[in-house]
Structure 1
Amino acid sequence: MSTPGKRVGRPRAAGRLDSGLSPRDELLAAAAELFTTRGYAATTTRAVAERAGMRQATMYHYFAGKEDLLAELLESTVTPSLALAHRLLAADEAAPPEARLWFLCSSDVRLLCGGPHNLGGLYLLPEVRSEGFAGFHHVRLELKEAYGRLLAATESCGSLDKDELALRTDLVFGLIEGVILIHRSDPDRPTDAFAAATADAALRVAGVAEGALAGVREKAVGLASV
C-alpha cells in the first residue's frame, strides 16, 4: 500500500527532475545529453539509463544498445526536414521554388543547430559509417534528393543537365550540413540569423541573383504554415 501523497512510479536519477517524457523519450534525451557532452565512445548504456532515471535492464526494453540510441537521434535530425521538403514540393502554388528552397534551407539549419544539444555534431562520429546506420543514411539521401527536385524547379537550375544539377545539389546540401562544424565551434551564434544567412548563401549557389534574394525571403515568410 502506498503512502498517501507519495509519488508512485519508477525511481528518478538523483538530482534529475521529472520531465514528463515517456521512458523511450527520456532515454533519447539522456543519450543526446551524454553523447554530446561526454562523447559517444565514453558513454555507457548504464550511464544513459541512470541519467534517464531507470535501471539498465529497463533500457533494453526500448533500445538494443548505444547504436540504436544514436541511430534514432541521428534520424531525428533529418526526418522533420524530409517531411517539410515533401510538403514544400507539393505546395507548388504557395510560392515559387526559389522561396520554397530558401525556406527548406533555413528550417534545416534551425533543426541542425537548434535544441539544447548539438546533435548535428554526431554526424562526424566514425561509427556512423557502419551498417547499423543504414536507416539514417537512407533518410538523409531522400532529403538530398528532395533538395535536388526543388533546385531543378528553380529558374536558374531548370536548364542544367543531369550532371550539373547533381553537382549543384551536392554543393547546396553540403553547405547546409556544413553548418554543423560552424555551430560546433561557435554554439552561441544566433540561430535565426545563421539560418537566414546560410539560406541566402544556398540560393547564391543555386544561381539566384543577389538582387532577387530580398524578394525570395519575403515570399518564403508565408510558407511557415505549409
Structure 2
Amino acid sequence: MNTQRAHPGRPRLVPATTTATPHDQVLHAAARLFVTKGFAATSTREIAEKVGIRQASLYYHFAGKDEILAELLQRSVRPTVDKVEQIERLAASETHETALYVLASVDVHTLAEAPHNIGVLATLPDVTSSGAYDAFRSTRAELADAYGRLAAQVAGPGIADGPEPRHLGEMLMHLVEVVTSLRGIGVTIDHATADAIASTCLRACGISDDRIATAATSAARLVGRLPDMP
C-alpha cells in the first residue's frame, strides 16, 4: 500500500469554491501587489504565490507581467469606452448635458468598481514607462475624445472658445479620476459622491445648476438601462 501523502498546496488567494476563474485570480493577486508594492518591484513568482499556484502555471494564463498589467489597465477604462456608443444612442432624445452626465457617472462606476483601486496604476512612473502602457494610452484617448465631443456641445460662453474639445475632455477625465484618490484614503464611492463628481463635470463646462439638476434626473433613468450598472 502506498503510504505517501500528497503535499499540501499553497494557500490560495481566492478559495477554491469561488466563481472567479484562475485567470481572474491572477489578475486580482497582481492588482493587489502592483498597487501596494509597485509594478517593477513585483515578480511573477510573488503573484503566483499569492494565488497559490506554481509560477509555471501562471504562464499558462499570461505571457508575462507586462501582459497582466496591460489587462489591468484596460479594466480601468475599457468598460466605459465600450458604453460610449450606447450612451450617445440612449441620450439622443435627451439633452447633451444628460449624455455627458451619464458618461461621467459610468466612468465613476468603472473606477469605483475596479479591483484594488487599479485606476491608480496609470499614475505610477514604472507603469507609464512600460510597454504595457501604450495600448492603455490609446484607449484612454478614445475616452478623452468622447468627453470632449459631448462637452463641446454643452460648454457655456468662454469655455467653448477656450480649450480644444480633446483638452476639455482630458480636463473632465481628471475630475472623474479623483475617484482613485478618494478610494486611496478610504472614501466609499456611493451614489451621492458619484452624483457630486458628475455634477462637477457639468459645472466645469459652465452649465447652470438648474440644468445640471434636470440632467441628473434624466441620467438616473438612463444609467439603469446600461449593462453592468446598478
Read off the aligned partner of 1:34 and give its amino acid letter: L
Q: Is the 8 A contact 1:88 1:100 kept in 2?
A: yes
Matched, 1:44 2:43: yes
Partner of 1:133: 133
2:40 is paired with a residue of what secondary structure? Answer: coil
Q: CA deviation at 1:203?
A: 0.3
Matched, 1:64 2:63: yes
Q: Deviations over 1:108-140 (max 9, x none)?
A: 112212355111111121122233321111101
For residues 13 and 69 of structure 2, what CA distance do their matches in structure 1 show? 25
Which ranges in structure 1 are unaligned for 5 or more consecutive residues? 1-10
1:217 is paired with a residue of what secondary structure? Answer: helix
For residues 197 and 100 of structure 1, what CA distance do their matches in structure 2 show? 16
For residues 146 and 23 of structure 1, what CA distance do their matches in structure 2 show? 34
For residues 11 and 27 of structure 2, what CA distance do their matches in structure 1 show? 15
For residues 192 and 95 of structure 2, what CA distance do their matches in structure 1 show? 22
Partner of 1:31: 30
Partner of 1:124: 123
Read off the aligned partner of 1:79 and give its amino acid letter: R
1:13 is paired with a residue of what secondary structure? Answer: coil
For residues 91 and 55 of structure 1, what CA distance do their matches in structure 2 show? 47
Q: Is the 8 A contact 1:120 1:180 kept in 2?
A: yes
Partner of 2:173: 173
Change over 3 Å in CA distance of 1:34–1:155 after alignment to 2: closer
1:93 is paired with a residue of what secondary structure? Answer: helix
Q: CA deviation at 1:53?
A: 2.3
Q: How many residues align?
A: 215
Read off the aligned partner of 1:17 and give its amino acid letter: P
Partner of 1:13: 11
For residues 37 and 65 of structure 1, what CA distance do their matches in structure 2 show? 19
Change over 3 Å in CA distance of 1:96–1:75 after alignment to 2: same
Which ranges in structure 2 are unaligned for 5 or more consecutive residues? 1-8
Q: Is the 8 A contact 1:85 1:147 kept in 2?
A: no
Identity %: 35
Q: CA deviation at 1:87?
A: 1.1
Read off the aligned partner of 2:67 and give its amino acid letter: D
Read off the aligned partner of 2:113 and give its amino acid letter: G
Change over 3 Å in CA distance of 1:132–1:168 after alignment to 2: closer
For residues 166 and 32 of structure 2, what CA distance do their matches in structure 1 show? 36
Aligned-pair RMSD on alpha carbons?
2.5
Q: CA deviation at 1:183?
A: 2.8
Deviates more, 1:52-61 or 1:161-170: 161-170
Deviates more, 1:120-129 or 1:213-222: 120-129
Alignment of 1:76-95 (within 5 A): 76-95=75-94
Deviates more, 1:53-62 or 1:12-21: 12-21
Q: Is the 8 A contact 2:144 2:166 kept in 1?
A: no
Q: Is the 8 A contact 2:14 2:25 kept in 1?
A: no
Q: CA deviation at 1:102?
A: 0.7
For residues 39 and 192 of structure 2, what CA distance do their matches in structure 1 show? 30
Change over 3 Å in CA distance of 1:197–1:63 after alignment to 2: same
Partner of 2:54: 55
Q: Deviations over 1:44-74 (max 9, x none)?
A: 2111112222110111122122221111101
Matched, 1:160 2:160: yes
TM-score by length of 1: 0.84
